[in-house]
């Protein structure tokens, strides 16, 4: 399988190189040149498989040039064994034909573990083979950082530097990053917001000369193709559990960078019957404004109760645009360059086309809290605020009551106790057993100014020169 850039002017790469690369050299994102397609019969034959075997069937076509089947199977078994539920991604029913897919049973209690537990293993496998070292540099508004650190802490060939906005992530989120021990793990708290962190990471990727040619940077944010790939699997898993592929499904996805929902779009392209995808956003609603009014325009970043969705521009949306423009990289490039300077619209027929599958909704903090409270009162089930946005949007956008509506449960409620409290629910969401001593563990992080030279200096001092 070859991978090509969404901006059409970078070399095609194989899986190993795509895994180790961030952005393509033309500024685009890598996507598979063509997707595998599964027949209904084939998908049906996967019913009842353990999660890791299903994962093998869905993902192997993407990696087969780089990894022998037996090695990939072992890697997947190890990856999904660490999840604290035998079903890995269990479904919980809220109402008739309405479900939450719990994706927060991994080590850091958010769906990002699905991809990052695998990514760490993939990286070490490929680096071992190539006798190479990489430095992972990433910015996080919370969940990515801890999942990346957990995913990479046993990696022999990786140093990881995670930047988070100082005092702008929840205490649980911070502790999940800063209490993991390992001499290859480095946490930096930046005096600034998430976008300041993100800007420094982007600039570092664009000019890696500060590393002196001794190592290279690798990305773990959702521009990394391997993350998207791993997220395709649970759409198949949920569908098969509820009678798919013999009936179609609707999914509602709490959305920030558009990675998770893009994986759902790919599952559909690969043959899984999906009739509706709901983009659920908070007040940072660029995608909702685009979907409802064909106007793509950046607004100021707002801080909400759902920090993992506080994002001004969703980078993976470019991957959808690439398909929408008939895979014309030059057209995507000019559209996104224009969007840098002001609002843009796309051709009406393309916009209508994208709306056949996608709906959207933007949910306020108040409505988020209302939903947490309503569901708790009705179901005695606690939603985290991100998942609550998904449930709210699912209800607002639902097209067909006879089609199962599945909201992706993206985080465990114990990660966001403040939002739960604010919603008026009086029970405290308890941390799962494997984390009960989180608040006693020792933390390790360094606070730095929003200054790229300070960050680079720290990195040079701290990565273990391989
Ligand atoms: C990352 C994250 C999201 C957003 O996912 P994207 O793939 O960036 O759209 C939503 N909810 C939670 C809890 C997250 O951690």
At 107-138, the pLDDT tens digits run 999 999 999 999 999 999 999 999 999 999 99
Three-state DSSP string of 124-188: HHHHHHHCCCEEEEEECCCHHHHHHHHHHCCCCCEEEEEEEECCCCCHHHHHHHHCCCCCCEEEE
- Residue 289, pLDDT score: 96
Containing H/E element for 191? Answer: strand 185-191
- How many Å lie between the centroid of ligand 1 and the Cα of residue 200? 21
- Residue 238, pLDDT score: 98
- Residue 149, pLDDT score: 95
**Atom number in ligand 1 closest to CA 259:** 7
End-to-end CA distance of the chain: 31
- How many Å lie between the centroid of ligand 1 and the Cα of residue 387? 10
**Atom number in ligand 1 closest to CA 254:** 10
137 and 459 Cβ atoms separated by less than 8 Å? yes
Reply yes or no on whether the pLDDT at 466 is more than 60. no
Shortest-distance Cα residue to atom 8 of ligand 1: 257
- Domain hosting residue 348, numbered range: 79-110+226-422
How sure is the predictor about 465, in pLDDT bands with cuts at 50, 70 and 90? low
State the average pLDDT over residues 1-24.
Answer: 94
List the catalytic residues.
112
- How many Å lie between the centroid of ligand 1 and the Cα of residue 311? 10
What is the CATH number for 393? 3.40.50.1100
* Residues with Cβ within 8 Å of residue 295, at least 6 apart in sequence: 289, 343, 344, 345
Whether 143 is in the pocket of ligand 1, judged by its Cβ within 6 Å, is yes
- Residue 223, pLDDT score: 87
Name which residue leads in pLDDT, 391 or 202.
Answer: 391
- Residue 363, pLDDT score: 98
The answer to whether position 275 is within a domain reads yes
Whether 112 is in the pocket of ligand 1, judged by its Cβ within 6 Å, is yes
C-alpha span between 48 and 360 (Å, rounded): 32
The answer to whether position 346 is within a domain reads yes
Whether 262 is in the pocket of ligand 1, judged by its Cβ within 6 Å, is no
- How many Å lie between the centroid of ligand 1 and the Cα of residue 101? 14
In the chain, the number of structural domains is 1
Name which residue leads in pLDDT, 173 or 3.
Answer: 3
283 and 277 Cβ atoms separated by less than 8 Å? no
Reply yes or no on whether the pLDDT at 220 is more than 90. no
The answer to whether position 334 is within a domain reads yes
The answer to whether position 254 is within a domain reads yes
Shortest-distance Cα residue to atom 14 of ligand 1: 308
Whether 260 is in the pocket of ligand 1, judged by its Cβ within 6 Å, is yes
The answer to whether position 97 is within a domain reads yes
b/e sequence 84-96, b meaning 16+ C-beta within 10 Å: eeeebbbbeebee
The answer to whether position 418 is within a domain reads yes
State pLDDT tens for residues 229-283: 999 999 999 999 999 999 999 999 999 999 999 999 999 999 999 999 999 999 9
How sure is the predictor about 57, in pLDDT bands with cuts at 50, 70 and 90? very high
- How many Å lie between the centroid of ligand 1 and the Cα of residue 303? 15
State pLDDT tens for residues 69-78: 999 999 999 9
State the average pLDDT over residues 360-369.
Answer: 98
* Greatest Cα-to-Cα distance within the chain, rounded to the nearest angstrom: 59
State pLDDT tens for residues 407-450: 999 999 999 999 999 999 999 898 898 888 899 999 999 999 99
C-alpha span between 300 and 298 (Å, rounded): 7
Q: Is 380 helix (H, G, I), strand (E, B) or coil?
A: coil
Q: Are strands 98-102 and 91-95 parallel, antiparallel or unpaired?
A: antiparallel
Q: Which residue has the tokens 């699905």?
A: 114
Out of 285, 305, 309, 416, mutate this one to test ligand 1's pocket (max ligand atoms within 8 Å of CB): namely 309
Whether 411 is in the pocket of ligand 1, judged by its Cβ within 6 Å, is yes
- Residue 21, pLDDT score: 86
Using CA atoms, how far residue 32 sits from 1, 61, 167, 319, 395, in Å, is 7, 10, 38, 10, 33
Whether 222 is in the pocket of ligand 1, judged by its Cβ within 6 Å, is yes
- Residue 369, pLDDT score: 98
Whether 257 is in the pocket of ligand 1, judged by its Cβ within 6 Å, is yes
Whether 309 is in the pocket of ligand 1, judged by its Cβ within 6 Å, is yes
**Atom number in ligand 1 closest to CA 255:** 9
Name which residue leads in pLDDT, 208 or 312.
Answer: 208
The answer to whether position 392 is within a domain reads yes
The answer to whether position 17 is within a domain reads no
Out of 115, 311, 386, 419, mutate this one to test ligand 1's pocket (max ligand atoms within 8 Å of CB): namely 386
State the average pLDDT over residues 83-96.
Answer: 96
Whether 110 is in the pocket of ligand 1, judged by its Cβ within 6 Å, is yes
- Residue 1, pLDDT score: 93
Whether 412 is in the pocket of ligand 1, judged by its Cβ within 6 Å, is no
For residue 272 the two structure tokens come to 């899984």
Name which residue leads in pLDDT, 80 or 315.
Answer: 80
- How many Å lie between the centroid of ligand 1 and the Cα of residue 68? 31
């Amino acid at each position: 399988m070859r991978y090509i850039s969404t901006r059409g002017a970078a070399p095609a790469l194989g899986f190993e190189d795509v895994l180790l690369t961030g952005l393509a050299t033309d500024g685009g994102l890598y996507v598979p040149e063509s997707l595998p397609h599964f027949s209904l019969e084939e998908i049906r034959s996967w019913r009842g498989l353990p999660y890791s075997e299903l994962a093998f069937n869905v993902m192997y076509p993407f990696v087969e040039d780089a990894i022998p089947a037996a090695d990939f199977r072992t890697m997947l078994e190890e990856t999904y064994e660490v999840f604290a539920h035998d079903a890995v991604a269990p479904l919980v029913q809220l109402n008739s034909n309405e479900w939450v897919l719990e994706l927060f049973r991994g080590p850091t209690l958010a769906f990002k573990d699905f991809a990052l537990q695998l990514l760490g293993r993939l990286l070490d496998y490929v680096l071992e083979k190539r006798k190479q070292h990489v430095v992972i540099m990433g910015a996080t508004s919370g969940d990515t950082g801890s999942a990346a650190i957990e995913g990479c802490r046993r990696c022999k060939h990786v140093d990881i530097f995670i930047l988070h906005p100082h005092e702008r992530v929840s205490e649980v989120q911070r502790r999940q990053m800063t209490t993991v021990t390992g001499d290859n793990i480095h946490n930096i708290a930046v005096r600034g917001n998430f976008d300041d962190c993100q800007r420094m990471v982007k600039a570092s990727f664009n000019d890696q000369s500060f590393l002196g040619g001794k190592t290279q940077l690798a990305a773990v944010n959702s521009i990394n193709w391997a993350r998207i790939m791993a997220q395709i699997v649970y759409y198949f898993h949920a569908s098969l559990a509820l009678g798919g592929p013999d009936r179609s499904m609707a999914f509602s996805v709490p959305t920030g960078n558009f990675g998770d929902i893009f994986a759902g779009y790919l599952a559909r392209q690969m043959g899984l019957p999906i009739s509706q995808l709901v983009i659920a956003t908070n007040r940072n609603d660029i995608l909702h404004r685009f979907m409802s009014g064909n106007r793509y325009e950046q607004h100021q970043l707002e801080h909400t109760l759902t920090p993992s969705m506080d994002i001004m521009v969703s980078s993976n949306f470019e991957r959808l645009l690439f398909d929408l423009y008939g895979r014309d990289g030059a057209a995507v490039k000019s559209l996104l360059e224009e969007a840098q300077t002001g609002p843009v619209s796309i051709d009406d027929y393309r916009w209508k086309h994208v709306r056949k599958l996608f709906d959207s909704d933007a949910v306020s903090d108040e409505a988020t809290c209302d939903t947490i409270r309503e569901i708790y009162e009705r179901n005695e089930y606690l939603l985290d605020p991100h998942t609550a946005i998904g449930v709210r949007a699912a209800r607002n956008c639902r097209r067909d009551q006879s089609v199962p509506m599945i909201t992706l449960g993206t985080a465990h409620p114990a990660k966001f106790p403040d939002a739960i409290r604010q919603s008026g629910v009086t029970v405290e969401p308890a941390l799962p057993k494997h984390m009960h001593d989180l608040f006693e563990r020792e933390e390790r992080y360094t606070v730095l100014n929003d200054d790229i030279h300070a960050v680079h200096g720290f990195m040079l001092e701290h990565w273990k020169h391989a």
